């Protein structure tokens, strides 16, 4: 099922941002989940202004329609249409990201504050899902390194662990008797990977705040890794000494490694990773594209893995 945005003017275009963000909270709170679930998701988008980034690809962008209606977000179901249909129940404002562990300055950040105090950039990135499809998405966000510098990691911090919100009452997929994953969804990066300028925390796409199905209000984007690294709706970031557990590795360790670097020469045990289908390039006879090492970002990231056997550390 596709949820379409109303064709007429968005409230974000005619109402001051603060007023309408407050109205959003009121709608989610006073009117209750049933009503907010019934609201068209597009109503929630607020414009974000962002500088252009030299890290952007000039490849053709995947349509907003495809980016926001073909998703993976298992907390709202396992179907590609489930997140767009069901993620409207997640209350994304107010929202706090707690940063803890081996840091000099542990902190709780309100997302609104993070957005105001960060130099937002538009980063048009190629994204590759482990399932064999790809998209080109114009994210709006800021370098993860900027947030890391604010909290002053200690010398003992070697990894960064991320956690998604766990709210069974707002997440229909989490209520299942037979959960697909252990909740909350968790992911991790090595600290030097997290500091790489390509790694961003995204707060928007296509010039507006993130739709819920894409991980509102804040999610990780690591374009040289398979999409499952891009943990959505983050509530906690911890600096740790040992490699943290990750949801998909826990679920199927033989299929999903900690590193998850896009690598056309290391097949998934059940299918090849040599090629990809670009979403939106329709038609029966459209050729699959060759998948590029590190998703085409080798120049910027290959040095992170010098001397590592990438078949072992997949």
Binding site for ligand MTE (CB under 6 A): 71-75, 129, 164, 185, 214-215, 227-228, 230-233
Of all residues in the shown chain, the one whose CB is closest to ligand MTE is 227
Q: Which of 90, 147 has the CB closer to ligand MTE?
A: 90
Residue 202 CB, nearest approach to ligand MTE (Å) = 9
Alpha helices per DSSP H over 119-234: 144-151, 191-195
Residue 116 CB, nearest approach to ligand MTE (Å) = 24
Q: Which of 20, 133 has the CB closer to ligand MTE?
A: 133
Residue 92 CB, nearest approach to ligand MTE (Å) = 13
Residue 301 CB, nearest approach to ligand MTE (Å) = 19
Please provide residue 155's backbone torsions phi and psi, each rounded to the nearest 5 degrees: -60, -25
Q: Which of 102, 233 has the CB closer to ligand MTE?
A: 233
Q: Which of 71, 263 has the CB closer to ligand MTE?
A: 71
Q: Which of 83, 101 has the CB closer to ligand MTE?
A: 83
Residue 155 CB, nearest approach to ligand MTE (Å) = 30
Residues 6 or more apart whose CB falls under 8 angstroms from that of 120 comprise 48, 49, 50, 51, 140, 141, 142, 203, 204
Residue 8 CB, nearest approach to ligand MTE (Å) = 26
Q: Which of 75, 102 has the CB closer to ligand MTE?
A: 75
């Amino acid at each position: 099922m596709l949820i379409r945005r109303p064709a007429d003017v968005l409230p974000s275009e005619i109402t001051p941002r603060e007023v309408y963000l407050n109205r959003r909270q009121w709608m989610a709170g006073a009117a209750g989940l049933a009503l907010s679930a019934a609201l068209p998701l597009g109503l929630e988008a607020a414009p974000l202004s962002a500088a252009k980034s030299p890290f952007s690809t000039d490849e053709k962008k995947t349509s907003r329609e495809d980016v926001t209606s073909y998703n993976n977000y298992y907390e709202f179901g396992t179907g590609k249409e489930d997140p767009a249909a069901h993620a409207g129940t997640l209350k994304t404002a107010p929202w706090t990201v707690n940063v803890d562990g081996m840091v000099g300055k542990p902190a709780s950040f309100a997302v609104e504050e993070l957005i105001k105090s960060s130099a937002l950039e538009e980063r048009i990135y190629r994204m590759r899902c482990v399932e064999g499809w790809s998209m080109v998405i114009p994210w709006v966000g800021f370098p993860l390194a900027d947030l890391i510098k604010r909290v002053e990691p200690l010398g003992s911090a070697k990894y960064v662990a991320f956690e998604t919100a766990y709210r069974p009452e707002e997440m229909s997929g989490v209520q299942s008797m037979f959960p697909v994953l252990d909740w909350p969804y968790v992911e991790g990066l090595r600290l030097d990977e997290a500091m790489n300028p390509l790694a961003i925390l995204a707060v928007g796409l296509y010039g507006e705040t993130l739709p819920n199905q894409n991980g509102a209000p804040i999610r990780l984007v690591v374009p040289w890794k398979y999409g499952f690294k891009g943990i959505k709706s983050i509530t906690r970031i911890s600096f740790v000494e040992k490699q943290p557990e990750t949801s998909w590795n826990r679920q199927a360790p033989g299929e999903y490694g900690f590193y998850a670097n896009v690598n056309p020469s290391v097949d998934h045990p059940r299918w090849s990773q040599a090629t990809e289908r670009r979403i939106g390039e329709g038609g029966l006879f459209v050729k699959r594209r060759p998948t590029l090492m590190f998703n085409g970002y080798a120049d910027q990231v290959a040095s992170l893995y010098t001397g590592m056997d990438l078949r072992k550390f997949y």
